[in-house]
Chains A and B, each alone.
Chain A
Amino acid sequence: MWLRVVVISLVMSLVAAVQIAFLPALNMSATINLALVILVLSVFVASRRSALFCALVLGLIFEAWSFWSFGAMIVILTLITILVSLAVDNFFTNKSLYSYLLLIVVMTLIYELYWLLVASLPAPIMIDQAFAWLLLQKMAVNTGTGIVLFYMTLGLSNSFQSVILIKKKY
């Protein structure tokens, strides 16, 4: 168990470092949200407890680097993990690329709206054209990242493989 805790902590530390330092430095118009994609993926390929632990570790690291009110990061990351878990348990299969991608899109929407709400408090949120356009771009880059990570996971783990339908010609 402790080995798993150490491994998850190290991997999440690496993810956090890439998310904080590397991806924003690329100056893309919409930065990839690697942390969000990894969390959605973790619900699909790991246990719920491991996924929640990932969210807590990521949240705690981000909090140290964030100048927002304490807890804002931990709350949204754990919320996303819980929502994805609920969706997978009740509405989606956890063995489908499409449900995984759809959840990435929905969680990107929730994540961005959450930060828009936090940023504009106590004023009501204003969704303008620039925000909507950026949101679409973020959904696209996160989905692209999700696809890449999905196929990487497919090669490394058999969590998805059991029901991936491969058309065979007989």
Chain B
Amino acid sequence: MKKLPFVKSAGLAVAAVILALFLLHGLGLLGWWDNLLARVFSPVNQSLQRFGTSVSQNYRDASDQRDAAEIIRQKDQEIAKLLAINAELTAVKKDDRVLKDYFKLTQENKFDYLVAQVLARDVISRDAVKRNKLIINRGARDGVKTGLLVVDQAGVALGKISQVKDHLAELSLLNSNDCQVAVKIQSDAQTMGIAQGELGLSVRLDFVPQSKKVEVGQLVVSSGLEPDIPSNVVVGKIKSIDQASVNSIWQKLAVEPVANLEDLSFVAVLMPKQSFSFE
């Protein structure tokens, strides 16, 4: 049988190197390497990520033009509906302003926005179907921790921080399997539920009792029941109600995220303000 000199010489050396790396990592002696790479690669990755996103955006814009007529017709209908809603809201606005001032006192001072740049999509997708995790250039050293909500420039929810390193953090988008947000449906009943990503493609709303009346198009916002996540951050709109689940205890609702989860270059992490201490 033919000898395998490659395995004998280099194979052992590689095994030794890998074992040494595991040992160094286990002892926490490779942290500097992660930090160094994060700092050195960040500018390059930011540029490459932005370039890739713009290429993808241009391609999508070009293909979208074919459907432009249909989109304009739909938008006209939406504008007509929004005008009607706007008329009602103007009346409510006066009262709301006074209430808002009170609300600001308690709510606004609790959270800060930490703007972060998207450096990459996850190197390997955990869902094996669609990449729905982003790596951002803020980490534990900036005060980012797991479970914090991330929003876009309009303040609409994009997802939650799922893992953190010193200078990097992983953002699980709303449609990611491991992203769960406690939400409520904006209606008179203020129905509570949990929004969870499904297969990296959509968001479903679980644990909504059958007794609660839900309509397609209603707004889904964060409930504020989770620590470090404020209430009333827009998550999405009810897209459809699963008729097959009528006989079960809970309703199954499909939610359409309001934010564009595809072309993201910047995001903002909602940071809770440090509580006052005497130390």
Contact = CB atoms under 8 A, between A and B. Distances in A.
Chains A and B come from one and the same complex:
yes
A98 interface: no
B269 interface: no
Contact of B6 (A48, A115, A134): A48
Nearest to A115: B124
Interface string A11-41: 0010011111111111100010000000000
B52 interface: yes
B150 to A, nearest CB: 15
Given A27-B56, A86-B4, A89-B4, A22 B51 contact: yes
Q: Which of A25, A56, A78, A86 is packed against the most chain B CB atoms within 10 Å? A: A25
B165 interface: yes
Task: Please tell me the size bucket of the interface on B.
Answer: 35 or more
B128 A70 contact: no
B18 A75 contact: yes
Given A24-B121, A86-B6, 15 more contacts: A13-B41, A20-B45, A21-B49, A22-B48, A24-B122, A26-B55, A31-B131, A52-B10, A65-B135, A67-B133, A82-B7, A115-B128, A116-B128, A119-B128, A130-B129
Contacts of A130: 129, 199
A15 to B, nearest CB: 12
Contacts of B55: 25-26
A45 B49 CA distance: 30
A151 interface: no
A80 to B, nearest CB: 12
Given A20-B123, A48-B10, A52-B14, A134 B128 contact: yes
B257 to A, nearest CB: 16
Nearest to A131: B128
B240 interface: no
B172 to A, nearest CB: 10
Given A65-B37, A71-B18, A82-B11, A131 B48 contact: no
Interface of B: 2, 4, 6-7, 10-11, 14, 17-18, 21-22, 25, 30, 33-34, 37-38, 41, 44-53, 55-56, 60, 119-124, 126-129, 131, 133, 135, 162-163, 165, 168, 170, 199, 262-263
A156 interface: no
Interface of A: 13, 16-27, 31, 48-49, 52, 56, 60-68, 70-71, 73-75, 78, 82, 85-86, 89-90, 112, 115-116, 119, 130-131, 134
